[in-house]
Structure 1
Amino acid sequence: DVYSAPEPAPEPYVAPPRAPAPAFNRDEVAETLVGDHAAGLAASAFGSLAAAVQMPRDGRTLEDVVRELLRPLLKQWLDEHLPRIVEAKVEEEVHRIARGRGV
């Protein structure tokens, strides 16, 4: 029948609950995997990172942090790809104009 009722929308997917992560002793893991010097250096590096991206700092927002982190990546991508993109688009436009003039 053309005028039959529409099928009901599918139920949204709900992920099954996750089991809690196993408990671990951070000091025990650090003792068995790395030495004191390496653990100290890693802790210092993570401390510096945490201080650098701490929110909010002087009105700094997550958007500000993301912008700062993406700027060098975007610059690198543009440096690598923009000349080729511009050349291709200019060539397309030249061909389009030339076809329009009957050349």
Structure 2
Amino acid sequence: MEDILASIRKILSEDEAEPAKPEPAKAAPPPPPAPEPMIMEPEPEPEPVMAEPGEPVASIFDPEPEEEPAFNPEFEPPLQLTDSMYADPEPQYEPEQAPSFGQQFYDTSYGEGLVSDPVAAASGASIAQLAQAVARERAVALGNHGLTLEQLVREICTPILKHWLDINLPYMIERIVKQEIERIATRSDRT
């Protein structure tokens, strides 16, 4: 901190030692003319209109009243109600019962299908054959040995599972038995 202050003092002392050359002063531009003061004149107030005694006030505001429609003594007789004018009562509809649980609520009756009857029969037969083939061979054979996917997974996983159980099963049994003994002992202490 002291070093910084010392360097600042040194710079200032050097500046004072050198006499500054005065620059020639430039003539200042003439000041702009002062704006003329704005004089606000109040707007003239409208002269109040006074009603003459006996003159209605409405005549002050509306010097020319609108003409009222002339009364026409000839009028049309009121309409007579006829049978054709009565509205027909709306038909009463019986609300349909909502389908109960498990009941189908859509129309299962089919009209014309998109395919002809022979094509539909052939398609149905093909689907039936496919279902029978799947039922016969539930397992898909893999590789040359005729192993199914399930058999292959069992063959691969058995040694891995056996190794894991050999390592972890004794510890798991010990821990579970210990927890159960502690639980039984805690119960017997309470009674």
Do these two structures clear the TM 0.5 threshold for a shared fold by scoring above it? no
State the TM-score, normalized to the length of structure 2.
Answer: 0.24
Larger Rg over CA atoms: 2
State the TM-score, normalized to the length of structure 1.
Answer: 0.44
